[in-house]
Structures are given as structure tokens and as C-alpha cells.
Amino acid sequence: MAGVSTASFRGALRAPIAGGRPSRLAVRAASGSGEWQKVCTRKELSEGGGRVRAKVGGEKVFVQEFEGQLYCLSNVCTHLSLPLVGRTPILQGQIVEGCMECPLHKTRFDLKTGEVKGEWAPTFPEIPFVGKGDPKPLPTFSVRENEDGTIEALI
Ligand code: FES
């Protein structure tokens, strides 16, 4: 997109404009370095309770609104490649202390950085010779909201 710098959106805060609608909202940067692609609309995000899962540019992602900020992260847990935001209520990760907590083994990924916070797969059973593997951060993507309510991620 011409004239748009990824760096200029990093960490930016919601900037209200006349009428109270945000002009653009962008959040932390990320591993994504492709093109801005539509993930959802503001309406869809609201209908989802501040959360939307989507497949964009071949990536499974979710957008989460938390404390007035938007975050976009991979929807594939780096432990066993299961979704953090699934189709059913029991497969919904919870937001805990600014992290997305995997619904399966409770690994917490920082919404801003994707880094693992706390113990890796704390509820995963101790299986001899298998172990839990090494902690791996969750890919994150820059995200922004346009004036028309479209929410895009740099994927
Ligand atoms: S699948 Fe997410 S922590 Fe195990």
C-alpha cells in the first residue's frame, strides 16, 4: 500500500476523530511482512465479542480486541498446532494477564509479542521420552482499522 509504513503503525494508539470513530488503529508489529489484507470488519469483531478468527493469505489468524487495542496473532498454537480460537465454546482461549491462553494445555502467549509467558504447556501430561518440546513464540501480525471499519493485518 503506497505511503504506508509498517513502522509508523507500531504501537500506535487509537486516534479518535470527529464523531468518535477511530481513524486507524494499529498494533504491535510482527512477523508478518507481506501485504495489508482484510481480516474482518468492525461489525464482525463486535458480533464476535471482540474476537474474530479467519484464514487470510494462507495464514490462520485471530484478531483480539483487548483494552482498546487490536492484536492479530497466529491461530495455530506452537505447542501441538491446535487452534487457540476454535469453532466451539470449549475451544476458546481465554485472555489472562494480557496473554492468549491456549484452551488445551494453558500455554500463555503475550498478545503484544507472541512470547510465551510462564510455564510452557503446564497441563500437558508428563509422558516419558516425549516431553513437552521447547517453548516457541506465537507469530504476530501488525493490524490496523481503517476509517470504513475494515480491519486489516500485514500478512
Ligand atoms: S496445544 Fe496449545 S498448549 Fe498444547
What is the mean pLDDT of the segment spanning 28-47? 83
Q: Which structural domain, as residue segments, surrounds residue 84?
A: 21-154
107 inside domain: yes
Q: Are 143 and 152 in contact (CB under 8 A)?
A: yes
82 inside domain: yes
- Segment 111-126, tens digit of pLDDT: 999 999 999 999 998 8
100 inside domain: yes
52 inside domain: yes
127 inside domain: yes
Which atom from ligand 1 is nearest to the alpha carbon of 107? 3
Which atom from ligand 1 is nearest to the alpha carbon of 78? 2
Looking at residue 30, its pLDDT comes to 52
15 inside domain: no
Rounded distance between C-alpha atoms, residue 147 and residue 134, angstroms: 41
Measured from the CB, is residue 63 less than 6 Å from ligand 1? Answer: no
pLDDT value at 6 more than 80: no
Rounded distance between C-alpha atoms, residue 116 and residue 21, angstroms: 33
14 inside domain: no
Domain count for the chain, please give it. 1
Rounded distance between C-alpha atoms, residue 95 and residue 117, angstroms: 12
| 86, three cell numbers | 476454535
125 inside domain: yes
User: How deeply is 64 buried, as exposed, middle or buried, from its count of CB atoms within 10 A (0-12, 13-18, 19+)?
Assistant: buried
Q: Are strands 116-117 and 59-66 parallel, antiparallel or unpaired?
A: unpaired
Q: For residue 134, how far is its CA from the centre of ligand 1 (angstroms)?
A: 12
CATH number for the domain harbouring residue 147: 2.102.10.10
Q: For residue 28, how far is its CA from the centre of ligand 1 (angstroms)?
A: 23
Q: For residue 13, how far is its CA from the centre of ligand 1 (angstroms)?
A: 31
